[in-house]
Structure 1
Amino acid sequence: MATNTRSPAHTLRHRPGWFRPIPLRSRRDGWSEGRQCAFLVQLYVTGSVTAAARAVGMSRASAYRLRTRGGAESFAHAWDRVLSLPRWERAEAPREDFRKVTTATLMARLDRALVQPVVYRGAMAGIRTKPDISTLLRVARRTGRGPGDPHERG
Structure 2
Amino acid sequence: MTQQSDPPSDNSRWTGPKAMAFLHALAQHGKVAAAARGVGMSRQAAYRLRARAPEFARIWHVALQEAATRRAAARKRKARVHPLLAKGPRTGDTPAGRVTGGPLTGHGRGAAR
Q: Under a length normalisation based on structure 2, what TM-score does the superposition of the two structures give?
A: 0.48
Q: Which has the higher contact order (CA 8 A, sep 6+)?
A: 1
Q: Under a length normalisation based on structure 1, what TM-score does the superposition of the two structures give?
A: 0.36
Q: Per residue, is there more strand in 1 or in 2?
A: 1
Larger Rg: 2
Q: Per residue, is there more helix in 1 or in 2?
A: 2
